[in-house]
Structure 1
């Protein structure tokens, strides 16, 4: 699939200004299944007419066309989430699979943003993500390789956040950040290739479910003992984003 062409064709029909688009989800994390979609994410500036109009317009673009799953936030929505150190959009900013980038001084912006991140937001998000995945996998026909690996990834990322270490996006790089003696890492490394060969809804064999569930629960208990308090970085991050927002809008409008 030619993602760059799809993005180009999409904006040929619109007046919005595309800024930055990446691949997210399982393809970004290096654990895609044969039937995984292309989850393209990023952000744009509204058209000049919309920006100067008094009326409110929708702050996102959503397109689902076969395997092409596209979501774009407008700059204000994107920066509002970044101001809260939202881990999902931080992953977009940190992505290594980039399809389109018209954001001036991107590397400078990205580096300054990551320096100001509140790691407690990452900790709570990734821990919640893992717990949610575990709840779902224990309901009927939902104990999938996909759910298990999403939970593993969440718990490893939460653990690194407690150390104020930015979790890597590529799953094999994430493993390398975790202790080589971690039983969860051993399990995940053994099963990663199996997961990548399975379809999205493939179930983990019943005989193996209890073992991985036990490893996940142990990791959750360990993390619960490391409860993180919110860092006082929000004001500095907000000022940083305000400055870049002005810079970008002056550049384009």
Structure 2
């Protein structure tokens, strides 16, 4: 069944009206943003929103996420700006990926660009590498053991492993696009040819089932996971925070959206 892409805009507008919020930014996350969707992949829409100023002037903690039921190939949920900025302060990789997603559905205000401008100052190579390493280890353990494996799951181990390599090499947030990571991080070799063959098949709409494991890729992943487990321990952790700047960003966003 063909998905009506306009439904995303309608859903975002509905959320604004029903929740009494303003959506600052909305984007695609997951396999579509990473460049390897399946024919039946959901649209994974993530957004950052802000509530009226009075909502934040409370003694009590309130729910800071909006989650919508998954339906008709659409998975959509968002984080309150205050929550997002606190996670940004901790160099949260999923949030950093949202901010650089190649598929953006809404960006109505200047605040998102101001957050991006602070990204190099808040980025933590160590915590980000641990995030991707944890993802790689879990998916490798769950999907890529045995002689026959779920071939499409290679992407969900390869991407975080290559992201770890990018962080080690450049000390910055890795690019979203899987093919760019392969081209930049893997030298010409049989290994690279196997990765690109997988990607070509995926982009062509081939639906992978259980197939014999690809030994050269499995061996690479096993070595790299072990390597980054040691490497991550020795990355220097910066204690510098940008608390004053993030406080100012939060206040600026409230003023920009709701006025004085």
TM tier, smaller: 0.7 to 0.9
Cα distance, 1:102 vs. partner?
Answer: 2.2
Q: Would the alpha carbon gap of residues 58 and 223 (structure 1) be closer, same or farther in structure 2, given more than 3 Å must change?
A: same
State the secondary structure of the residue aligned to 1:43. Answer: strand
- 1:155 corresponding residue in structure 2: 161
Cα distance, 1:175 vs. partner?
Answer: 1.5
**Between 119-128 and 28-37, the greater mean CA deviation after superposition:** 119-128
- 2:142 corresponding residue in structure 1: 136
**Between 52-61 and 21-30, the greater mean CA deviation after superposition:** 52-61
- 1:112 corresponding residue in structure 2: 118
State the secondary structure of the residue aligned to 1:180. Answer: coil
Cα distance, 1:173 vs. partner?
Answer: 1.3
Q: Distance in 2 between matches of 1:165 and 1:48?
A: 34
* Counterpart contact for 2:91–2:127, Cα < 8 Å: yes
Q: Distance in 1 between matches of 2:217 and 2:159?
A: 13
State the secondary structure of the residue aligned to 2:209. Answer: coil
Q: Distance in 2 between matches of 1:223 and 1:232?
A: 16
Over aligned residue pairs, what C-alpha RMSD do you find?
A: 2.5
**Between 26-35 and 239-248, the greater mean CA deviation after superposition:** 239-248
- 1:169 corresponding residue in structure 2: 176
Alignment partner of 1:33 is 2:38: yes
Alignment partner of 1:187 is 2:172: no
Q: Would the alpha carbon gap of residues 47 and 68 (structure 1) be closer, same or farther in structure 2, given more than 3 Å must change?
A: farther
Alignment length (residue pairs) = 250
List alignment gaps of at least 5 residues for structure 2: none
State the secondary structure of the residue aligned to 2:19. Answer: coil
State the secondary structure of the residue aligned to 1:81. Answer: helix
Q: Distance in 2 between matches of 1:192 and 1:244?
A: 40
Q: Deviations over 1:19-67 (max 9, x none)?
A: 1110000000110000000000121112445333444321101112221
* Counterpart contact for 2:99–2:112, Cα < 8 Å: no
Q: Deviations over 1:138-174 (max 9, x none)?
A: 479x932332101000000001111214311111111
Cα distance, 1:15 vs. partner?
Answer: 0.4
* Counterpart contact for 1:117–1:237, Cα < 8 Å: no
Q: Would the alpha carbon gap of residues 108 and 47 (structure 1) be closer, same or farther in structure 2, given more than 3 Å must change?
A: closer
- 1:96 corresponding residue in structure 2: 102
Q: Distance in 1 between matches of 2:110 and 2:252?
A: 9
- 2:61 corresponding residue in structure 1: 56
